[in-house]
Amino acid sequence: MAASRAAQCFALFIFVLTVLVATTRFVTETLAAGAFAIGKCGAYGQAYDYPAESAARAAALKQCKGGNCKMITMKRACAALSIDMVNPCGPHGYAVRPKISGSLNEATRECYKFGGKECVIRAWACDAKG
């Protein structure tokens, strides 16, 4: 009798765990739109894990105070912005890649490619899957 009760409790535990995992997956898959707005002199705005790309773009643009902000979108990915510490209004680089390590490396390479002397990551973000 006790073994049967323990088996029922274990089965219920597995069922609840399965439902929780499925719910988490649904939430992270639906919230998978992000955007970066890149402005002048290191200004930026970021938004991630939004339900729609348009909402992410609007949120990122609202944060960007540098004027003439360029929009970069990401979906189930990571984005990074690198600026030159010697001249924050000069060379910069950005990248969107599936993993954070790739976006950080590529953004830094892009900054150096455009003439940066001391390029550092200014900002980064990943959406639900990045």
DSSP line for 12-42: HHHHHHHHHHHHHHHHHHHS-EEEEEE-GGG
**Residue 64 near residue 43 (C-beta atoms within 8 A):** yes
% pLDDT > 90, the chain: 58
Residues 117, 65 share a domain: yes
38 and 15 housed in the same domain:
no
Judge if 44 and 95 occupy the same domain: yes
User: Does residue 63 share a domain with residue 36?
Assistant: yes
Task: Calculate ∠ Cα 72-130-21, nearest 5°.
Answer: 135
The tens digit of pLDDT for each residue in 1-52 reads 566 665 564 544 454 445 554 444 444 445 578 999 999 999 999 998 898 9
Residue 43: which domain range? 31-126
- The answer to whether residues 50 and 98 belong to one domain is yes
What is the pTM for the complete model shown? 0.72
Residues 8 and 18 reside in one and the same domain? yes
Q: Say how many domains are in the chain.
A: 2
- Our CA angle for 36, 42, 48, nearest 5°, is 20
Tokens matching residue 22:
């499925």
What is the pLDDT of the chain when averaged over all its residues? 82
Q: Are residues 66 and 117 in the same domain?
A: yes
Q: According to DSSP H, which parts of 31-120 are helical? A: 53-63, 100-113
CA distances from 89 to 45, 70, 83, 85, 92 (A): 16, 15, 8, 9, 8
